[in-house]
Structures are given as structure tokens and as C-alpha cells.
Amino acid sequence: MVGEQRARGPLPSAEMVGRAANLTRQQRRILEELHAKPTGLTVKEISGSLGLHPNTIRGHMDVLKDLGLVNVISRPSVGPGRPSSVYMAQSALPGRPTAHLAGLVRVAVASMEPEPTAEKARQLGRRWAESLIEYGTLPTGGGVVETTTALMAEMGFAPVTQGATMRLFRCPLIAPDGTIPRVVCEVHSGMIDVVAEHSTDAEGRRLLGVVHPMDAPGSCSVQFTSTAPAATGGETAGGDPAVDEPAAASAAASDGTGPPPSGI
């Protein structure tokens, strides 16, 4: 039943972004022109706007249609003559779906009942990561640092990893005014917890990734520390204090000093 529903439903928007990645410059110009006119344009209208021959436009349209990036409908002509073919973009402008979904995530997390605690947000992040593993969409082929870096890059965080520290210079979930609920950061803490549980470093050690929101101007960070399964007494194998309290990831205030939105 689930498979039947998926087959009949719309395609994922993320798939359209991937298909648009390898367009030629002219194809991208045509698609941008269609984005600017959601009600659609004819070949003649696009030709007049871009200065391209109509046959050139038609050739590019065939490619865009095959990729599922544009749709075509018939518009009744005014007066005698055949109906006109009107082309419409079937993919959103880059960044816009992310901005809307980010707003939804902020509202959803902040509205958790009875209140959005750090632990509840962390559990949500764990379920999120487990779903990535279930559907085979979690990056593979490396340890926890490499996997987390690849995952954060896919999500638009612009990570830069040096040694055991990963800095995040963009945030797809931060509000336009630069603020973000602390519990949203806890969602990513839970996600990283699951990634760590399924990975080891090059020496076979388990690593713990701790999120530090907005701990430096324009960025957040994730600090990786080694931990041994048998370690007790609140210490890691290397003698460092084990950071296992859910509130640790939200020690910094979310006051607008963090990374800019990913869409910038």
C-alpha cells in the first residue's frame, strides 16, 4: 500500500534540484525565465525575452521536459489558429523549499508538548538519523567525523573540519533575523549521537560529537572526543570529561551571533 501511494504521488523536490544541477547555461536561463512567470510562457515569449531562436528554445524545452523540470499545457488562442503551447517550471527556485521547510521545523520543534525540552528534541534527532539509515540516505564510507561532515554538507551547513573540530558556517534552520530556538540545535545533537553509534575512527574507537551552538561569531561547532564503551565515572578513555548531558549542546545563547542562513 505504501509503495502504491509513493508511486502515485509527486516526485520529491530534492530530486528536481539534482536534475537541474547539470543544465547548460542556456537551459538554466530558460528555466529561470519560467520561474519568473509561474503562469507559464510560450516559446515566442521566451524567444523575445532571451533573444534566442524559437527552434533553439524548442530544443532546450525537449531536454527540460525529459528531465521533468518543465511542463507544457495548451492555451486557447485568441481568435483563429491553433492553441499555444505554454511551458511552466516544475522545480522551485533554489533555496526556497528549504526556507519554507526550515520555518516548519522551527515551529514544529518549538510547539512540542507539553514543552520543547532538550531531551525530547534530542530524541527527535535520533529518530531522524535512524530514518536516514533505514532509507539508505546516510553518507557512508568513513568514520564518524567524515560521515557527520558529509551529512552536514548535504544539509547546507557548510562544514569545515580540522582535526577533532567541525565548524558550521551556514545554517538551513536559522531564522532570517539570525535567531533559532535552542531545542533545534538539540535535534542535531541527537542526530550526531546516532551517527557516532554506527561509526568508529581509524583506530576503531568510538567518538562522541558535542554540538556547541553559536560559540564563535558567525558559526557553531561540533567537537569530537574519543570514548571507550567501558569507561565509567563520567570520563572518556582519554581522561576527558564525558559530555553526556542533553543541555550541553545548548550552552550558548541563540542570540543572533551564529551562522547565516544557508540560502544566503
Digit-coded pLDDT (tens) for 63-95: 999 988 898 988 877 777 788 899 998 876 666
Q: Are 149 and 158 in contact (CB under 8 A)?
A: no
Q: Which residue has the higher pLDDT, 53 or 11?
A: 53
Question: pLDDT at position 156, please?
Answer: 81
Gap between the Cα atoms of 66 and 57, Å rounded: 14
- Poorest-confidence range of 102-116, 147-161, 213-227? 102-116
Pairing of strands 159-162, 84-89: unpaired
Question: pLDDT at position 33, please?
Answer: 93
Question: pLDDT at position 44, please?
Answer: 94
Portion of the chain with pLDDT greater than 90, in percent: 24
The three cell numbers of residue 235 are 570520563
Reply yes or no on whether the pLDDT at 12 is more than 60: yes
- Poorest-confidence range of 52-61, 169-178, 209-218? 169-178
The three cell numbers of residue 126 are 535520533
Total residues belonging to the chain: 264
Q: Are 258 and 170 in contact (CB under 8 A)?
A: no
Cα–Cα distances in angstroms (integers) from residue 93 to residues 42, 58, 100, in the given order? 20, 22, 12
Say how many C-beta atoms besides its own lie within 10 A of residue 229's C-beta. Answer: 7
Average pLDDT over residues 167-186: 84
Question: Which CATH class name applies to 96-250?
Answer: alpha beta
Question: pLDDT at position 116, please?
Answer: 66
Nearest to 122 by CA among 13, 210, 204, 1: 210
Gap between the Cα atoms of 264 and 249, Å rounded: 25
Q: Which residue has the cell 551571533?
A: 257
Domain coordinates of the chain in residue numbers? 13-89, 96-250
Concatenate the DSSP letters of all residues of 168-188 into one string.
E--BTTS-TTS---HHHHHHH
Question: pLDDT at position 10, please?
Answer: 64
Reply yes or no on whether the pLDDT at 4 is more than 80: no
Reply yes or no on whether the pLDDT at 260 is more than 70: no
What is the pTM assigned to this prediction?
A: 0.59
How does residue 61 score in pLDDT terms, banded at 50, 70 and 90? very high
Reply yes or no on whether the pLDDT at 139 is more than 80: yes
Q: Are 89 and 69 in contact (CB under 8 A)?
A: yes
Peptide bond into 54 cis (omega under 30): no
Average pLDDT over residues 239-251: 38
Q: Which residues contact 64 (CB under 8 A, 6 or more apart)?
A: 23, 27, 30, 31, 70, 87
Contacts of range 75-82, beta carbons closer than 8 Å, 24 or more positions apart: 75/40, 75/42
Topology match between the domains 13-89 and 96-250: no
**13-89 in CATH: which number?**
1.10.10.10
Mean pLDDT, the chain, rounded, equals 77
Q: Are 258 and 176 in contact (CB under 8 A)?
A: no
